[in-house]
Structure 1
Amino acid sequence: MPRSRKTERDRRRSPSAARHADTIRLALMETAPAGLKKPRLMVVTELSGSQIVRGLAAYRELAGEKQWPPLVWSWEEGYHFCEDADELEAWERQWAEVKYTQISSVITGVLDPHERLFPKSRWLAYVIAQMNAIQSALDMIAHPQPQ
């Protein structure tokens, strides 16, 4: 029987990361609507930098499941809850742009040289096709056409 995605994700996430996520959520609830930058978040929560990183990753996995508010980051406010549609869309577009750039780097820095070495690889043809599709989707998210 195949494992569900949620089960796999839960299996990878440590219980301590989930606790860190909840600690971060509680700290940000106390400062809402203002946010906290990472150094201040570390002081308030008494978590280390690596615990903050793991807690933030766990927060993003748990937010939908536990109906927590969306958490975003900005230069001005740091980490903060956001319920503004325009700000969320801007953050999502920026996220898509970053991922687009990362995928582009993998294609040009790893897959293209691999293809020059092994031009008949079926595996590589499949990977390149999938990465190009992902790249195209991210580009459409980051740069939507005007309606």
Structure 2
Amino acid sequence: MPRASRRRGQAAQRHADTLRFILFEARPAGLVFHQLATASELSPSQVRAGLATLRDVIASNGWPPLIWTRENGYQLGAERAALEAYERQVINEKLTEFRRFITGTVAPHAAAHPGDKWVRHIVAQLNSIESTLDLIATA
């Protein structure tokens, strides 16, 4: 079940509809952020809110996914290879983010308070997440 965005207001819905229409017209090519802003005549913050809402709308309606690549920008309904490359990119980013959080925050906390029940719990859970993401990233 998709999570609900905090940006689910009527304005964000309109921005999402506008962006979906523009991206649909651009298919199979994508558009980079500034092209989306120019084509939609929306401000950067409106484009960001629209993209966040669009991802939620896509998930709830079962539509083809929205991805972003450095080469092509935002794309709707990309090919399988592009989808897999995007998924791998996001998994690797999250894995790096988790590892930095573990080594930079949680590990020092655990070293300072080794008997703390919360620290033991969060270390176990984050190690599990790290292991799972690592398995996915190397698959």
TM-score using structure 1 length: 0.85
C-alpha separation in 1, matches of 2:129 and 2:78:
27
3-state SS in 2 of match to 1:88: helix
CA drift of 1:75 comes to 1.6
Structure 1 letter corresponding to 2:15 = H
- Is 2:7 aligned against 1:13? yes
CA drift of 1:101 comes to 0.2
Structure 2 letter corresponding to 1:120 = G
CA drift of 1:70 comes to 0.9
Specify the alignment match of 1:102 in structure 2: 97
Query: What stretches of structure 1 of length at least 5 have no aligned partner?
Result: none
- Is 2:120 aligned against 1:125? yes
C-alpha separation in 2, matches of 1:20 and 1:135:
35
CA drift of 1:92 comes to 0.4
Aligned-residue CA RMSD (Å): 1.7
TM-score using structure 2 length: 0.89
Query: What stretches of structure 2 of length at least 5 have no aligned partner?
Result: none
Specify the alignment match of 2:49 in structure 1: 54
C-alpha separation in 1, matches of 2:82 and 2:16:
22
Specify the alignment match of 2:87 in structure 1: 92
C-alpha separation in 2, matches of 1:83 and 1:36:
13
